[in-house]
Amino acid sequence: NFMLTQPHSVSESPGKTVTISCTPSSGSIASNYVQWFQQRPGSAPTTVIYEDTQRPSGVPDRFSGSIDTSSNSASLTISGLKTEDEAYYYCQSYNNDIYVVFGGGTKLTVL
Amino acid sequence: QVQLVESGGGVVQPGRSLRLSCIASGFTFNSNGMHWVRQAPGKGLEWVAVISYDGNYKYYADSVKGRFTISRDNSKNTLYLQMNSLRPEDSAVYYCARDYFPRLLRFGFDYWGQGTLVTVSS
């Protein structure tokens, strides 16, 4: 079954930069767009990146998305970390067989 | 601004049915596909179903196929999820979410509702 793999957790200090990866179990990461969602504890998810690199209005430019075909992975980079960025982050993409697939989520701790 | 408000969750016995609703506002509802996504307590996100902007195309996760039905009433700006033959493993917060590209299904989301909790238990 097609899966997206994310690190279980990452941590970094305020003001620093962190990158979260998302790797497909098969196929090219460039084949279908990747989205990224932020979910704070007790809240609904919100979209921070769509179509690999696009930011919805209202999302600060500290959040950026990228695709690396050499490592076959997508990445979410958050610069100038703030304590409010502490949350779970999920990547998501499309697969012809199962349509929508989510990564398992990455817990970001800002300490 | 775009708003999605779910309702209809609650406690239901295994084998029974429940219908969820999602009322949309702040955008032209009949322009976008709409999804249901669920999240079991303490778990990750799981996609459930999608319906195209005009209701002509519907796709389901294997875990709910044959038991759940997604539908929409564009005159009421409302999305539905009819859930039959419910199982304990269907217990989750159910979110509706908008497909981000008008008219075409891109199978990605830009706006999410706040969710409604479904608990399947005897």
B93: CB partners within 8 A, 6+ apart: B9, B38, B39, B115, B116, B117, B118
| Residue B3: count of CB within 10 angstroms of its CB | 12
Are B112 and A94 a contacting pair at CB < 8 A?
A: no
Interchain CB contacts (distance < 8 Å): A and B: 63
List CB contacts (< 8 A) between B62 and chain A. 98
Q: Flag the least confident range among A45-49, B70-74, B100-104.
A: B100-104
What is the average pLDDT value for chain A, to the nearest integer?
95
Residue A97 is predicted with a pLDDT of: 79
Q: Could you tell me the pLDDT band of residue A98, with boundaries at 50, 70 and 90?
A: confident
pLDDT of A1 reads 83
Instruction: Give the nearest partner residue to B100 out of A50, A100, A101, using CB atoms.
Output: A50
Task: Give B45's contacts in chain A (Cβ within 8 Å).
Answer: 37, 39, 45, 90, 92, 102, 105
Pairwise CB contact (< 8 Å): B45 & A90: yes
Confidence of residue A99 (pLDDT cuts 50, 70, 90): confident
Closest by Cβ to B107, choosing from A45, A56, A100 = A100
Query: Residue A66: which of A55, A82, A81, A80 has the closest Cα?
Result: A55
Encode pLDDT of B75-117 as tens digits: 999 999 999 999 999 999 999 999 999 898 889 999 999 999 9
- Chain B hits for A96, CB-CB cut-off 8 Å, are none
Q: What pLDDT score was predicted for residue B95?
A: 98
Instruction: Quick: pLDDT tens for B20-57.
Output: 999 999 999 999 999 999 999 999 999 999 999 999 99
- Euclidean distance between the first and the last CA atom of chain B, given in angstroms as a whole number: 40
C-alpha–C-alpha distance, residues A81 and A18, integer Å: 8
Distance CA A7, CA A20 (A): 7
Please check whether residue B61 touches A, CB under 8 A: yes
Share of chain A above pLDDT 70, in %: 100
Closest-CA distance of chain B to residue A85, Å: 18
pLDDT tens figures, A2-19: 899 999 999 999 999 999
Q: Is the pLDDT of residue A80 over 90?
A: yes
Structure confidence at residue A39 (pLDDT): 98
